[in-house]
Chains A and B, each alone.
Chain A
Amino acid sequence: MALKEVGPMEPIRTHMQIPREELIAPGHSACQGCGHFIIVRHLLKAAGPNTIVVNPTGCLEVVTTVFPYSSWKVPWIHVAFENGGSVASGVEAAIKSLQKKGILPKDERINVVVFAGDGGTVDIGFQSLSGMFERRHKVVYVLLDNEAYMNTGIQRSGSTPYGAWTTTTPVGKRWKGEWRVRKDMMQIAVAHHVPYAATINPAYPVDMYNKMVKALKAEGPAFLHAYSPCPTGWRFDPSLTVEVARMAVLTGYWVLYEYDHGNYKVTVPVLKRKPVREFVKMQGRFRHMTEEQIKKLQEIIDEQVEHINKLVGKTVIGPVVEEQKK
């Protein structure tokens, strides 16, 4: 017998249990195939209607809330670009204070969720996020990572991967796309002693949903690093969003793991990794890459995989296995 849909904040075993109710409406102006909305739709389903969303400036904000319209069926606030962490801190502090004083119902749980982009998180919003983590505000902070400033037209961020073309890391005589290694936000979150941190990916909805439930139930700040393919900025056909997201996992480019109260766990093991070339060749932003650059990127990924395997204490993400040519 099929499992029934669950209520908010309950874990699921299959995607058939994801609640039907939509808390974000269509009609917004996100690009075709935007990865953000697969993620946001499901995380809101997991959180339920008793949720306040804080949304620093970015694609998600501008495409959903051009006055007099809003796609959000939950209370939502945008203040500025660099202060998602601090605005959420204030929202959470106010809920706490007003509940204590009996102005808000004491027994009613109100979730506070931040949806922020990579620019608003790893760059300009970094300090405010760090403060929020360190002060132990009960907030779920979701980083919707599309690996560049897409809202302003594809400029590089501290999350842009090695090799990627952006408008500020163009391919020219001297520059050949981004040449540095991106920030490791998971480790930065863990260094703040957050109780729960995890990577998520829209191609893996059950894993994503359950991590949201865990994040919401954590007794302090929780961090979800969401991989969010951007057809516009990464230069691929919008129909491939989920495929690109999946390939990121299958190549070990995006390892799905969690840090749960001190314990690391890879939640989607990949025993035979595909070469990162498979991921690279799907996207126009990597088109210029030389064999040498691809090799360098593969090394970066190998190192990252090795690091995560070390964290979990066993080889859960396996070696690269080239497919046999037919």
Chain B
Amino acid sequence: MTLPGWKELPEGAVVREPGNTVTISTGEWRVFKPVIIDEKCTRCRLCWIYCPDGTIIEVDDPNAPLGKRYEVDYEHCKGCGICWKECPVNAIEWVPEER
């Protein structure tokens, strides 16, 4: 891949696309991955709260209990395990990655 030359780059090295690190995958960092067991989940939201990288996604779902469920953004989840440790009802399993 060729990188842009000086004429094409923005003045002063500014980044004009806020939040564009979202295009970078950090999912490969994982050795273990969190797997949410929806049936066990009480919708307490603590995994969403404590995830440093915001990779637990709160999804509105009218058919789910309390109208929502939680998903993992595996594209970005680095596999730190905080959600797994903090889940008060053991609704998150800690599963080795297979690649």
By a beta-carbon cutoff of 8 Å, the part of chain A in contact with chain B is 2, 15-16, 18, 20, 22, 24-30, 32-38, 41-42, 64-65, 67-74, 202, 205, 231, 237-243
The smallest C-beta distance from A77 to any residue of chain B, in angstroms, reads 10
**When the two chains form their complex, are residues A26 and B15 in contact, meaning their CB atoms are under 8 A apart?**
no
The 28 sampled A-B contact pairs (Cβ below 8 Å) are: A2-B66, A15-B46, A16-B45, A20-B58, A25-B19, A26-B21, A26-B22, A27-B20, A27-B23, A27-B25, A28-B24, A37-B53, A38-B50, A42-B49, A69-B15, A70-B19, A70-B20, A70-B21, A71-B21, A72-B19, A202-B50, A237-B81, A238-B82, A239-B80, A239-B82, A241-B52, A241-B80, A241-B82
The smallest C-beta distance from A200 to any residue of chain B, in angstroms, reads 14
User: Which residues of chain A are within 8 angstroms of B19 by Cβ–Cβ distance?
Assistant: 24-25, 70-73
**When the two chains form their complex, are residues B22 and A25 in contact, meaning their CB atoms are under 8 A apart?**
yes
Question: Among B19, B76, B79, B84, which residue has the most Cβ atoms of chain A within 10 A?
Answer: B19
For chain B, the bracket of interface size reads: 20 to 34
User: Which residues of chain B are within 8 angstroms of A71 by Cβ–Cβ distance?
Assistant: 19, 21-22
Of residues 28 through 64 on chain B, the ones whose CB sits less than 8 Å from some CB of chain A are: 29, 45-46, 49-55, 58
A237 CA to B84 CA, complexed, in Å: 13
Question: Among B18, B25, B76, B79, which residue has the most Cβ atoms of chain A within 10 A?
Answer: B18
**When the two chains form their complex, are residues A36 and B52 in contact, meaning their CB atoms are under 8 A apart?**
yes
A interface majority secondary structure: loop
A-B contacts at CB below 8 angstroms, number: 109
**When the two chains form their complex, are residues B78 and A32 in contact, meaning their CB atoms are under 8 A apart?**
yes
**When the two chains form their complex, are residues A242 and B66 in contact, meaning their CB atoms are under 8 A apart?**
no
**When the two chains form their complex, are residues B49 and A27 in contact, meaning their CB atoms are under 8 A apart?**
no
**When the two chains form their complex, are residues A65 and B15 in contact, meaning their CB atoms are under 8 A apart?**
yes
User: Which residues of chain A are within 8 angstroms of B97 by Cβ–Cβ distance?
Assistant: none
A185 CA to B13 CA, complexed, in Å: 34
User: Which residues of chain A are within 8 angstroms of B46 by Cβ–Cβ distance?
Assistant: 15
Residue from A20, A27, A30, A242 in contact with B24 in the complex, judged by beta carbons closer than 8 Å: A27
User: Which residues of chain A are within 8 angstroms of B78 by Cβ–Cβ distance?
Assistant: 32
**When the two chains form their complex, are residues A34 and B52 in contact, meaning their CB atoms are under 8 A apart?**
yes
Chain A residue at minimal CB-CB distance from B17: A70
User: Which residues of chain A are within 8 angstroms of B54 by Cβ–Cβ distance?
Assistant: 22, 24-26, 37, 41
Chain A residue at minimal CB-CB distance from B52: A37
Residue from A24, A28, A70, A243 in contact with B15 in the complex, judged by beta carbons closer than 8 Å: A70
**When the two chains form their complex, are residues B84 and A70 in contact, meaning their CB atoms are under 8 A apart?**
no
A71 CA to B86 CA, complexed, in Å: 25
Known pairs A24-B19, A27-B24, A70-B15. 11 more at Cβ < 8 A? A15-B45, A22-B54, A25-B54, A30-B53, A33-B82, A38-B50, A65-B15, A69-B21, A70-B17, A241-B80, A242-B85
Question: Among A37, A38, A64, which residue has the most Cβ atoms of chain B within 10 A?
Answer: A38
User: Which residues of chain A are within 8 angstroms of B15 by Cβ–Cβ distance?
Assistant: 65, 67-70
User: Which residues of chain B are within 8 angstroms of A25 by Cβ–Cβ distance?
Assistant: 18-22, 54
User: Which residues of chain A are within 8 angstroms of B52 by Cβ–Cβ distance?
Assistant: 30, 33-38, 41, 241
**When the two chains form their complex, are residues A72 and B18 in contact, meaning their CB atoms are under 8 A apart?**
yes
A41 CA to B23 CA, complexed, in Å: 18
Question: Among A29, A67, A68, A241, which residue has the most Cβ atoms of chain B within 10 A?
Answer: A68
